[in-house]
Amino acid sequence: MQASAETKASPSFAIAPALLAWYDAHARSLPWRAPPGAPPPDPYRVWLSEVMLQQTTVAAVGPYFERFTRRWPTIADLAAADEAEIMAAWAGLGYYSRARNLVACAREVVRLGGFPSTEADLRKLPGLGAYTAAAVAAIAFGEAAVVVDANVERVVARLFAITDPLPGARPAIREATATITPPVRAGDFAQAMMDLGATVCTVRSPRCLLCPLRGACRAEAAGIAEALPAKTPKKPKPTRKGRVFWIEREGAVWFVRREAKGMLGGMRALPDDGWHARADGHGEGPVAGPWRSGGVVRHGFTHFDLELQLMLCDAAEMVHQLPPEEGEFWPLVRLDEAGLPTVFAKAARLALSERS
């Protein structure tokens, strides 16, 4: 593959020194970072931030990171916490398997007596894939690991004019990144690449005139920077339909706990008709009763879109039918503390608007 062959040697431009000099002057100030050139940050904070940042923006992660580290300031605190509390605190960040892996990883790190310091050993921890292990190894321990996230993919695809579309281009991008990763200040280099992609080498309208790597960028020279990285067109997402049920009694609403495994596993939620396994929207309610429609909730997941018909009722006639071992009545005044996944939080807001 031609794109891969071109990445076997880096451009003559001194990429790492130029990028690190730029980073020293322009690094973003983020709560999980140490300033450029400073001693590495606590690996707990690096790991926690990297897990949170997977497929989530820095702006969205910031408040969650601050709340988590105030509540659980060390890895030992997190490991000792109740899993349900962690899942509730995670609510709204999405991709809830990350939160379940967070608990498992924290407990394993405590069992080991601390975080492993190498990329290879970090990969053995629960939930740590190639990217997270490399990021923690480089940023927290200074290992010259090759760190490639979406921002780095974009920078490197443009820098080396790798025109093959994603995801097929990823091996070539990783190979190219390895050629420019320096043996020292690897953590700062990785974060500099992330910052460059986030602030200069952006998806649309890249600010090429301000880029410290402009002299080495093959895509900018060819006038194709904004077109890279190329992506394989996505297939249209299917739409699933289902129903979600609001049962209210004396200022409280009935919540269930979802099964530990599966989508939104272990989370507190409104009862539904099993939409995660159905597509027809005709599943049964939790109890028989005089249900009425309260509108439609729409939510997008990674692989499908969801439309939920909100069903409302007066619980007075059916509360005796609800098995207490399967759920609980949660006070409406404490609804924000329930830790509902976003789709159920949307349903709750709709239900409250219908009753007002």
Q: Any idea which residues carry the catalytic annotation?
A: 50
Specify the length of the chain in residues: 356
In whole angstroms, give the CA distance from residue 149 to residue 49: 13
Residues 6+ apart with CB under 8 A from 44: 74, 75, 78, 115
In whole angstroms, give the CA distance from residue 157 to residue 222: 13
SS3 state of residue 166: strand
Residues 6+ apart with CB under 8 A from 96: 87, 90, 263, 264, 265, 266, 267, 341
- How far is the CA of 176 from the CAs of 10, 22, 143, 152, 199, in angstroms? 7, 20, 18, 11, 21
Residues 6+ apart with CB under 8 A from 117: 137, 141, 143
In whole angstroms, give the CA distance from residue 248 to residue 255: 10
Query: Residue 170 in contact with residue 153, Cβ under 8 Å?
Result: yes
Quickly count helices (H) and strands (E) in the chain: 14, 6
- How far is the CA of 229 from the CAs of 166, 206, 233, 303, in angstroms? 7, 12, 12, 22
In whole angstroms, give the CA distance from residue 151 to residue 179: 17
Classify residue 267 by burial, with Cβ atoms within 10 Å: 0-12, 13-18, 19+.
buried
In whole angstroms, give the CA distance from residue 45 to residue 65: 9
